[in-house]
Structure 1
Amino acid sequence: MNRRNFFKWTGLGALAALGGGMTARSAMAGNKYYSGPQSDHFDGTLFFNPDGEEPSGVFNLLRWKLGNGNVPWPETFASPFDQAMPETRVSGDRLVVTMIGHASMLIQVAGLNILTDPVWSERTSPFSFAGPKRVNPPGVRMGDLPPIDIVIVTHNHYDHLDLETLWVLQGRDKPRFVTPLGNDAIIRSKVPDAQITVMDWGGREEMAPGVVFHCEPCHHWSARGLGDRRMALWAAFVVETPAGKIYHVGDTGFHEGINYRAAQKKHGGFRLANFPFGAYEPRWFMKAQHQNPEEAVEGMQLCSAAFVAGHHWGTFKLTDEGVEEPVQALQAALDSRGIPRHRFQPMRPGQVFEVPSARA
């Protein structure tokens, strides 16, 4: 693989991982995004996963990228669903999820319109000419979105925090942004007038009458480039509503199911969980940061989720597996555990999932 193709293939993923490969001592004298007291997941300078695993560094990155495990994707991977035209609002006991693509989803519940990790850009990269490029258009055109009330940004990787999209949403709707510690500094670099609710693990914020956001742990990491590894926190979110509880996980390693068990113990189960189940090969490199389909299904059981909207697959090629392999592995995992396939939806852009009620 020549240098040009190596850069084109890896794009920002390589830059972030290269940043991750630097030692904390050599990368920074202090945290440029956040300062605060030490905790069980913050050492005063960097965030970390308690009893967890750090991401691999530059040598393992090169070993992965120069290996032979990559399965090519097609130039386009069209969704079977047309671009959706979401309703303006959803109320009562209804809960509707519309897939935008990758980890970007529109959640409509209790009269609120919530976007998760919105990315409308062509590439998940700081560059317009390199980095992972989308193979299907967003499942909803930006102009067809209903008014957005809340935007969840789970962490700062470019496939989850897209500043251009956040800037457009701010000009369009002026939503409230909800994000873990440190990411507010990144968002304000592009959207200085943003209304941001910044949360730490264990935090609780009432966003509307009867709607409470809880910030919960996940096993991941953060970096935007060279020298800022683990300076901003990563998190999952539980959205408690009159129509039921939603567990949204943007990215996570399985971490022996520890965080899923804790979520079930604290919240008592979920009407809906939004779980990543793609971008997981090779396992020796990705295991600490991205769960695979088998682990996602186990997580569904551990946290007592009635239904799952599966994401983080089929839009941006980040890892080695083929474009359709996650769904094949997901279906095998569901079948082996005797779980009806309709309970874990591998969401495609434009797909609208009307989540059955708890009574149903």
Structure 2
Amino acid sequence: MRKNTTPDARSGKTPPLGGAADRRPPRRVKHWRRHAMLGLGLAGVGAAALFAIRTGVAGFDGWGLSSRPYRGPVTDHFDGQRFHSVPPTPRTSFFDVLRWQRGRPADDWREEAADPTGAQPARRVDGAALTVTLVNHATLLIQHRGLNILTDPIYSAHAGPFGRFGPRRYTPPGIAFDALPPIDAILISHNHYDHLDAGTLSDLARRFPSARVFTGLGNGHQLRHAGFRDMVELDWWQAAPLSAGVAVQAVPARHWSERMPWNVNATLVAGFVLTSPDGSVYFAGDTAAGGHFAEIAARLGPIRFAALPIGAYAPRWFMQRSHMSPAEAVQAALALDARQSMAIHFGTFRLSDEAQHAPEAALADALRRTGFDAERFVALRPGGRLAVPPLPS
């Protein structure tokens, strides 16, 4: 009978074949070490990913879900990490959001048609003439001195990620996308989904590749991913030429930016003024009430035309820090001393608690109470068009 010639590791003796050593259970691998190393590795990857997102190395720009944070010198409205209003506005808390959501009334909005009387826009409007068409929400087609300018364009069915989530559309665009005239410039006030719509911007970049886009600091990454190549990021009070005699100047707004929770106020919110020999054209974008209207008028007046938001204002305890009420919009028009004002940011998406047509009714009431000429501050349906009168000579 052959003997096992492998020495026993403990005794150094060579046990016989089939002995006790052969019946000893194999040594168990210590799996906890493997699991611990795997957990540490995953935690490290997660921390690196979060760091990359927060610092801008990765921002999901291509998906339209996020934006890389702006980095630049400290100013009176930028602390080196985040932008803020002047004076700063306290942020609503998570518990404020819960309180608002729990008390929201039922959705009683109904789908409506655009203005059936709105004719297709002219290909160009030359000279001192100024024509403004409400496309929907905060989207305007401004035609002046041979230029066609779009503001905060949105054609998606929803104001949210991928154009498929978030508040749904209740009115169609007043100008069909294919009916848009050649677009020379686009103004983007901030990166909220109802103002910076990635799908619409991608479509515009394909159709009008030479269009120049003006926006606040930090939004260039998303616009580049949308397909644009000519972009200008502006700080408040900075200006850039658009054509002979016409320039675009960014102006203050009282609002906040946010694409995802980790980049609140990481990019700038701004309004815009088109300066022209025929009078300034002001697009407020999205803003709460404040002293910036008087400052804009003092610096860049006279204001020939002002587009002012009147929707998404209820309940006031929650919305007043970021959105004007119609009554406050009338006060803004007075502070601007605008020759003509037009209401925007109402009636397309249900963003807050007021009834579907409450903004127009509240605006009419505020105009009546203040004695303001109702023809100087109009609320049009999508597709409505206004030939803006010239400034008094």
Structure 2 match to 1:249: 284
Structure 1 match to 2:180: 145
Do residues 288 (structure 1) and 321 (structure 2) align? yes
Structure 2 match to 1:17: none
**Secondary structure of the residue that 1:122 maps to in structure 2?**
coil
Structure 1 match to 2:230: 195
How many residues align structurally?
332
Do residues 88 (structure 1) and 100 (structure 2) align? no
Which amino acid in structure 2 is aligned with residue 55 of structure 1? R
CA distance in 2, matches of 1:29, 1:314: 34
Which amino acid in structure 2 is aligned with residue 138 of structure 1? P
Normalised by the length of structure 2, the TM-score is 0.81
Which amino acid in structure 2 is aligned with residue 190 of structure 1? A
Does structure 2 retain, via aligned residues, the 8 Å contact 1:81–1:349?
A: no
Do residues 277 (structure 1) and 320 (structure 2) align? no
Does structure 1 retain, via aligned residues, the 8 Å contact 2:115–2:174?
A: no
Structure 1 match to 2:82: 46
Which amino acid in structure 2 is aligned with residue 134 of structure 1? R
Structure 2 match to 1:268: 301
Do residues 351 (structure 1) and 384 (structure 2) align? yes
**Secondary structure of the residue that 2:143 maps to in structure 1?**
strand
Which amino acid in structure 2 is aligned with residue 46 of structure 1? R
CA distance in 2, matches of 1:43, 1:167: 32
- Give, in angstroms, the shift of residue 131 of structure 1: 1.2
Percent same amino acid at aligned positions?
38
**Secondary structure of the residue that 1:305 maps to in structure 2?**
coil
CA distance in 2, matches of 1:211, 1:109: 9
Does structure 2 retain, via aligned residues, the 8 Å contact 1:27–1:227?
A: no
Structure 2 match to 1:9: none
Which amino acid in structure 1 is aligned with residue 144 of structure 2? V
Structure 1 match to 2:140: 105
Which of 144, 154, 179 matches 2:189?
Answer: 154
Which amino acid in structure 1 is aligned with residue 315 of structure 2? P
Does structure 2 retain, via aligned residues, the 8 Å contact 1:115–1:151?
A: yes
Structure 2 match to 1:33: 69
- Give, in angstroms, the shift of residue 83 of structure 1: 5.5
Which amino acid in structure 2 is aligned with residue 350 of structure 1? G
CA distance in 2, matches of 1:123, 1:218: 25
CA distance in 2, matches of 1:293, 1:109: 27
CA distance in 2, matches of 1:71, 1:348: 24
Normalised by the length of structure 1, the TM-score is 0.88
Call closer, same or farther: CA 1:87–1:54 in 2, change over 3 Å. same
Do residues 73 (structure 1) and 98 (structure 2) align? no
Which amino acid in structure 2 is aligned with residue 309 of structure 1? M
Structure 2 match to 1:303: 336
Does structure 1 retain, via aligned residues, the 8 Å contact 2:214–2:231?
A: yes
Listed as ranges, the matches of 1:124-273 within 5 Å are 124-174=159-209, 175-191=211-227, 193-255=228-290, 258-273=291-306
Q: Point out which structure has higher relative CO (alpha carbons under 8 A, 6+ apart).
A: 1
Structure 2 unaligned residues grouped into runs of 5+: 1-50, 57-67
Which amino acid in structure 1 is aligned with residue 257 of structure 2? S
- Give, in angstroms, the shift of residue 169 of structure 1: 0.8
Do residues 332 (structure 1) and 368 (structure 2) align? no
Structure 2 match to 1:114: 149
- Give, in angstroms, the shift of residue 209 of structure 1: 0.5
**Secondary structure of the residue that 2:261 maps to in structure 1?**
coil
- Give, in angstroms, the shift of residue 51 of structure 1: 1.4
CA distance in 2, matches of 1:186, 1:308: 31
Deviations 1:153-202 (A, max 9, x none): 000000000011111111111210000000111222332x4210110011
RMSD: 1.9
Call closer, same or farther: CA 1:105–1:226 in 2, change over 3 Å. same
Which amino acid in structure 1 is aligned with residue 310 of structure 2? F
Do residues 58 (structure 1) and 94 (structure 2) align? yes
Does structure 2 retain, via aligned residues, the 8 Å contact 1:81–1:348?
A: no
Does structure 2 retain, via aligned residues, the 8 Å contact 1:92–1:243?
A: no
Which amino acid in structure 2 is aligned with residue 140 of structure 1? I
Deviations 1:57-103 (A, max 9, x none): 211001001014x2633330233435641000001221000111000
- Give, in angstroms, the shift of residue 130 of structure 1: 2.9
CA distance in 1, matches of 2:127, 2:163: 42
- Give, in angstroms, the shift of residue 134 of structure 1: 0.7
**Secondary structure of the residue that 2:286 maps to in structure 1?**
coil
- Give, in angstroms, the shift of residue 129 of structure 1: 4.3
Call closer, same or farther: CA 1:298–1:121 in 2, change over 3 Å. same
Call closer, same or farther: CA 1:28–1:148 in 2, change over 3 Å. closer
